[in-house]
A and B are shown apart, each in its own frame.
Chain A
Amino acid sequence: MDGSEPGADDLVFSCRDLRYAYLGRFPALDGVSLDVHKGEKVALLGPNGCGKSTLLKILDGLIFPDGGTFTAFGQPVTEDNLEDEQFSAGFRSRVGFVFQNSDAQVFSPTVREEIAFGCLQLGLPTGETAARVDDVLAMLGIADLAERAPFQLSGGQKKRVAIASVLVMNPEVLLFDEPTAALDPRTQAWLIELIADLSAAGKTIVLATHDLDALDVIADRCVVFAEDHTVSRVGTPQQVLTDRELLLRANLIHERSRVAL
Chain B
Amino acid sequence: MGGTVQASRTPDWLLRGEPGLCRCGPAGIRRKGSFVEKTLTGGADLLRQVMFSEEIAGRPGLLQRLDPRLKAVSLVVLLVAVGLVHHVGTLVACYALTLLLATASRLPLAFFIKRVWLFIPIFSGIVVLPATLSIVTPGEVVLPLWHWHGAPQGFTAQGLTSAALVISRVATSVSLVVLLTLTTPWTRLLAALRALGVPRIFILIIGMAYRYVFLLLGVVTEMYEARKARTVRARRNDRAARGFVAASAGALFGRAGHLSEEVHLAMVARGYRGSPRTLHAFRLRAADAVAAVVVLAAAVTIYGGDVLVGR
Interface residues of A (CB under 8 A from B): 57, 60, 62, 85, 88-89, 92-93, 96-97, 99, 101, 103-105, 107-110, 112-113, 116-118, 120-123, 126, 129-130, 133, 147, 149-152, 165-166, 169, 254-256
Distance A133 CA – B272 CA, assembled complex (angstroms): 18
Check if A109 sits within 8 Å of B269, measured CB to CB: no
Check if B279 sits within 8 Å of A113, measured CB to CB: yes
Q: Knowing A89-B271, A92-B271, A256-B2 are in contact, say whether A120-B211 is a contact too (CB < 8 A).
A: no
> Which residue of chain A has its CB nearest to the CB of B54?
A149
Can you list 19 residue pairs at the A/B interface with Cβ under 8 Å? A62-B268, A96-B269, A99-B262, A101-B262, A105-B266, A107-B208, A107-B263, A108-B207, A109-B186, A112-B279, A117-B267, A120-B277, A126-B279, A147-B185, A147-B187, A149-B187, A165-B270, A255-B2, A256-B2
Check if A255 sits within 8 Å of B186, measured CB to CB: no
Which residues does chain A contribute within 8 Å of B185, judged by CB atoms? 147
Which residues does chain B contribute within 8 Å of A104, judged by CB atoms? 259, 262-263, 265-266
Distance A121 CA – B274 CA, assembled complex (angstroms): 10
Distance A17 CA – B145 CA, assembled complex (angstroms): 86
Which residues does chain B contribute within 8 Å of A110, judged by CB atoms? 187
Check if B279 sits within 8 Å of A129, measured CB to CB: yes
Which residues does chain B contribute within 8 Å of A149, judged by CB atoms? 54, 186-187, 211
Which residues does chain B contribute within 8 Å of A165, judged by CB atoms? 270
| Chain B min CB distance to A256 (Å) | 6
Check if A121 sits within 8 Å of B51, measured CB to CB: no
Check if B187 sits within 8 Å of A121, measured CB to CB: no
Say what secondary structure dominates the interface of chain B.
helix
Which residues does chain B contribute within 8 Å of A147, judged by CB atoms? 185, 187
Known contacts A93-B271, A96-B269, A99-B266; 4 additional CB pairs below 8 A are A92-B270, A104-B262, A149-B54, A256-B2
Which residues does chain B contribute within 8 Å of A152, judged by CB atoms? 51, 54
Which residues does chain B contribute within 8 Å of A118, judged by CB atoms? 270-271
B280: Cβ under 8 A from any A Cβ: yes
Which residues does chain B contribute within 8 Å of A108, judged by CB atoms? 207, 211
Distance A122 CA – B273 CA, assembled complex (angstroms): 9
Most B CB contacts (10 A, CB to CB) among A92, A107, A166 go to A107
| Chain A min CB distance to B161 (Å) | 44
Check if A97 sits within 8 Å of B271, measured CB to CB: no
> Which residue of chain B has its CB nearest to the CB of A89?
B271
Which residues does chain A contribute within 8 Å of B267, judged by CB atoms? 107, 117
Which residues does chain A contribute within 8 Å of B259, judged by CB atoms? 103-104
Say what secondary structure dominates the interface of chain A.
helix
Distance A103 CA – B256 CA, assembled complex (angstroms): 12
Which residues does chain B contribute within 8 Å of A151, judged by CB atoms? 47, 211, 214-215
> Which residue of chain B has its CB nearest to the CB of A126?
B279
Check if A109 sits within 8 Å of B215, measured CB to CB: no
Which residues does chain A contribute within 8 Å of B187, judged by CB atoms? 109-110, 113, 147, 149
Distance A121 CA – B271 CA, assembled complex (angstroms): 5
Which residues does chain B contribute within 8 Å of A120, judged by CB atoms? 277-279
- Tell me the residues in window 49-78 of chain B with beta carbons closer than 8 Å to chain A beta carbons: 51, 54
| Chain B min CB distance to A56 (Å) | 10
Sort A-B residue pairs by CB-CB distance and give the 3 closest, nearest first.
A118-B270, A104-B262, A121-B271
Which residues does chain B contribute within 8 Å of A116, judged by CB atoms? 278-279
Contact of A121 among B1, B54, B207, B277 (CB under 8 A): B277
Q: Knowing A101-B262, A107-B267, A149-B54 are in contact, say whether A130-B2 is a contact too (CB < 8 A).
A: no
B281: Cβ under 8 A from any A Cβ: yes
> Which residue of chain B has its CB nearest to the CB of A133?
B279
B190: Cβ under 8 A from any A Cβ: yes
B117: Cβ under 8 A from any A Cβ: no
Binary contact track B186-200/A, C-beta < 8 Å → 1, others 0: 110010000000000
Check if B279 sits within 8 Å of A122, measured CB to CB: no
Which residues does chain A contribute within 8 Å of B215, judged by CB atoms? 103, 151
Binary contact track B249-269/A, C-beta < 8 Å → 1, others 0: 000000000010011011111
Distance A117 CA – B54 CA, assembled complex (angstroms): 23
B304: Cβ under 8 A from any A Cβ: no
Distance A130 CA – B280 CA, assembled complex (angstroms): 10
| Chain B min CB distance to A107 (Å) | 5
Check if A254 sits within 8 Å of B270, measured CB to CB: no
Most B CB contacts (10 A, CB to CB) among A101, A108, A254 go to A108
Which residues does chain A contribute within 8 Å of B47, judged by CB atoms? 151
> Which residue of chain B has its CB nearest to the CB of A256?
B2
B276: Cβ under 8 A from any A Cβ: yes
> Which residue of chain B has its CB nearest to the CB of A102?
B266
Which residues does chain A contribute within 8 Å of B265, judged by CB atoms? 57, 62, 99, 104
